[in-house]
Structure 1
Amino acid sequence: MSHSVLNADSQGRVINPEALVAQLPALQYVDGALCLEEVDVASLAKTYGTPCYVYSKQAILNVYKAYTDSFAAIDHQICYAVKANSNLAVLGILAQAGAGFDIVSSGELARVLAAGGEASRVVFSGVGKRTDDIRYALEAGIGCFNIESDSELALIQGVAAELGKTAAISLRVNPNVDAKTHPYISTGLKDNKFGISHEKALSVYQQAAAMPNIRIQGIDCHIGSQLTEVAPFIDALDKLIELIDNLRTNGIELEHIDLGGGLGVQYIDETPISIADFAAALLPKLTQLGLKVFFEPGRSIVANAGLLLTRVDVLKPTEHKNFAIVDAAMNDLIRPALYQAEMAIIPSQLATATAGNECTWDIVGAICETGDFLAKDRVLSLAVGDVLAVTGAGAYGFVMSSNYNTRPRSAEVMVSENQHQLVRPREQVAELFATEQLWQA
């Protein structure tokens, strides 16, 4: 080495892997080996290569069950937000458990149907639905459109009339509630592109009531993501209840209320409210309201059910920084670069973490961008060849990955007890340009 390795210092973040794993579902160290359910993740790295996403079937089902059990006292429907993780294996597991689905594109609807989901249990969100999206959804028989503008309402009326169908709708109301989360994942403020303002909602409902191919079904809101306390949900619910009362006064009756998703998870040291406490805080108002309740959780169902496995390729100490270059990069996991998200990175073997030579490292990828990092200033004991696990990677991991720098996207693997299965093979380089053509003048 041309430079000595910088020692761990007060600026480095120390994460106790055993303490963290004790608080995350489906993870455990067995004789020093990190296991997801009963499978040693280092063996998965050897079998499927790295980088590689791995998911726990039981962890997914346990969180889904926590939602259904916590809201069992009222009529409800849990619509998993497909955008969080759209792998067919994940969708299929939830479909078999009886879940509904929240989609934001016709492509996501196609995935849900391919995975065995019921179109009638699908809600279609998103600000930019096109004519072909609406036609496909109506022909499939989806349960409800979440309308985000009066122009979208008119478009859906037109497509439904052409098809001779009736479109069930709810309006996504923007309650102007500050979720106090990262600005990129805040969705309930006046400055956000989502939804119809609380003040304008009554007039849009009245427009909908006059349309022959529209059936008003519900009211919807979604104020943001990674919320760790219930107060913003209560504030949004109070505004929706006020609007529901106003709608009733004006002769418009609803069948359901949709409170969206956004419940946060623990990545490192966050302390999100539990699903049971979340439900207990909302149930008194929801019970009195007397409407069917929809929720659209995504991150909270799959984030901590997943890991990204990556291998240390190069250790590069300098006078100012120590860089550990791993084979995963921002094209595999963009959350740290895009949101400044801090995710835990822990060793697959505890012996690595207790070797007595811990140093402060930036964990970076091989992409030609300074913004290509998975974590900064982490105190770890590392050697070339070590397999590391990025926890909390089940949500907004693979789904946001890309082929930047012509890098194939990772394999995806599902684990159940002591079994594991490849649920998406690693892409091959030749596949990345197989549909491209040379210019021929």
Structure 2
Amino acid sequence: MNPFDYKDGVFHVENTSLKKIADAIRTPFYCYSSVKIASQYTEFCKIFDDIPSLVCYAIKANSNQAVLRILARLGAGADIVSEGELRRARAAFIPAEKIIFSGVGKTIRELDLALVEDILCFNVESEPELELLSSRAVTYGRKARISFRINPDIDAGTHSKTATGRADDKFGIFWRDAPRVYKKAAQLPGIEVTGIAMHIGSQIIKSQPFDDAFSRLSKLITILRADGHTIKQIDLGGGVGIPYERDNYNQLNLKAYATLVRKYVKNLDARIIFEPGRIIVGNAGILVTEVLYLKKSRNRIFTIIDAAMNDLIRPTLYESWHEIEPVVLAAAHAPYITTDIVGPVCESGDYFAKERQITRPKSGDLLAIRSAGAYGAVQSGTYNSRLLIPEVLVKENHFDVIRSRTSFDDFISLDHIPEWLSDE
């Protein structure tokens, strides 16, 4: 079953009409398919079922508790990058022994909490972090299990803002420095070296970057083991891209990715850790919005909608493409227009599509912005004093609001007026 499809001319998620949801809670809102989330996770696991492995979902892609609970029930671990994500993972009942802590700027508070929780592994990204973690582990009388995140100096061929494996990126230990840093770690108290990690970027749609990176990693593992270091787990990170354009099949698929994994690391006698995020939830979510106005300028037609860049920042941040479709199909001979689909925020960067061909909309029409399940709601903000919008989860023919729209009273009350400015 395709969980995103038209029924009687109306866009449905599973068996629930988007128009019905919009009538009940108003636009804009995010909507996720529980079936799609579960099936994407299950498919990812199944393709590696012949390899000792653990799938640690990258919480940064979509951190809603309901989404995490679906994945936790299926046995997922978690890749986290902050105290908040650690607390979210534990609140969703993801076991500490399935949690990997990545990130270049772990604070003392975050390290302490992760040590107390006794998580599976810290992916250490610098020598100062290693030294701090050692001292905090000694303070708590714990052993911090670590992998070093290696920077292999590989260009992932993705957007410059999502590439993480080049020598000048802020992430990881440069691969040539690895033997020296592993030797240092072996001599520090409170540290137990258990593996190695790598993540070269996000939304990677070609196989060559993975081929190059995995090749370099496997050779480095051989060197480290020869030096006497224990490498019993290999964290390959995530990064496999998804098709944002419906007709774009020029992308790396899971089978091709799995072939590379087997080629380079299957026979290295270690458990493989994966950190998928976007590939699990990206195409499981959409953003639903209402058309406010059609505005003609001298050279363009603007379709102004009630969603904005503060709700979904990907188009302006990453120049990303999202399919945009009407929630209610137009008549068979409805005219098409070429239009810029934009939001109401006071920025020229507030757009979702430029020069896009769509059936001519009118005020009150609903649009569905596809592939918004990853890096959508989690990156949203309140610019222009706009409220955070709801998130909805669909299961078959019913839906639940899994994050409510904030109220203006609650939003404004977050500010505090000093006594000397009070009029009371």
TM-score, with normalisation over the residues of structure 1? 0.93
Residues in 2 aligned to 1:26 and 1:233: alpha-carbon distance in whole angstroms: 30
Q: C-alpha displacement at 1:393, in angstroms? A: 0.1
Matched, 1:424 2:403: yes
- Which letter maps to 1:194? F
Q: Give the whole-Å Cα distance in 2 for the aligned partners of 1:190 and 1:270.
A: 30
Opposite residue 65 of structure 1, the aligned amino acid is: T
Matches of 1:239 and 1:278, distance apart in 2: 16
- Counterpart position of 2:338: 360
1:261 positional shift = 0.4
CA deviations 1:79-118 (Å, max 9, x no partner) are: 0000000000000000010001000001001011111111
Aligned pair partner of 1:229 in 195, 206, 211: 206
- How far 1:274 moved relative to its partner? 2.3
The answer (yes or no) to whether the contact 1:66–1:275 under 8 Å persists in 2 is no
CA separation in 1, counterparts of 2:29 and 2:311? 9
Q: Report the Cα offset of residue 270 of structure 1.
A: 3.3
The secondary structure found in structure 2 opposite 1:77 is strand
1:250 aligns with 2:227: yes
Give SS of 1:199's match.
helix
Aligned pair 1:371/2:335, yes or no?
Answer: no
Once structures 1 and 2 are overlaid, which stretch shifts more, 282-291 or 318-327?
282-291
Which SS does the other structure have where 1:253 is aligned? coil
The one-letter amino acid of 1:207's match is: K
Matched with 1:10 is none
Equivalent position to 1:284, from 252, 258, 263: 263
The alignment partner of 1:184 has SS state of: coil
Equivalent residue, structure 2, for 1:121: 98
| Match of residue 398, structure 1, among 377, 387, 401 | 377
> How many percent of aligned residue pairs carry the same amino acid?
43
Shift of 1:249: 1.2
Q: Spell out the pairing of 1:177-196 with structure 2 (5 A cutoff).
A: 177-196=154-173
Q: C-alpha distance in 1, partners of 2:253/2:408?
A: 43
Question: Structure 2: which 5+ residue stretches go unaligned?
Answer: none
> 2: CA distance between counterparts of 1:355 and 1:384?
19
> Does the Cα contact within 8 Å between 1:50 and 1:311 map onto a contact in 2?
yes
CA distance in 2, matches of 1:382, 1:289: 56
The one of the two structures with greater contact order (alpha-carbon pairs below 8 A, sep at least 6) is 1
Aligned-partner Cα distance in 2 for 1:49–1:164: 52
Contact 1:411 1:422 in 2 (8 A): yes
Question: In structure 2, what residue type is equivalent to 1:287?
Answer: K
d(CA) in 2 for partners of 1:186 and 1:84? Answer: 15
Secondary structure of residue in 1 paired with 2:413:
coil
CA distance in 2, matches of 1:284, 1:341: 32
- What's 2:149 paired with? 172
Kept in 2, the 8 Å contact 1:333–1:398? The answer is yes
Deviations 1:229-281 (A, max 9, x none): 22211211111111111111111121111110000001114332222332133
Whether 1:63 and 2:43 are equivalent positions in the alignment is no
Amino acid at match of 2:9: G
Deviations 1:27-80 (A, max 9, x none): 111121111111111211111211100001110111111111100111000000
Name the SS for the 1:83 alignment partner.
Answer: helix
* Between 185-194 and 229-238, the greater mean CA deviation after superposition: 229-238
Give 1:305's match in structure 2, choosing from 267, 278, 284: 284
**Aligned counterpart, 1:409:** 388
TM-score (norm 2): 0.96
Q: Name the CA distance, whole Å, in 2 between partners of 1:284 and 1:175.
A: 18
Distance 2:99 2:182 in 1: 21
Structure 2 CA distance for aligned equivalents of residues 400 and 418 of structure 1? 28
After TM superposition, give the deviation of residue 203 of structure 1 in Å: 0.8
CA deviations over 1:368-397 (Å, ceiling 9, x no partner) = 111111111111121110100000000000
- In structure 1, list runs of 5 or more residues that go unmatched: 1-21
- Secondary structure of 2:161's counterpart equals helix
Moved over 3 A (4+): none
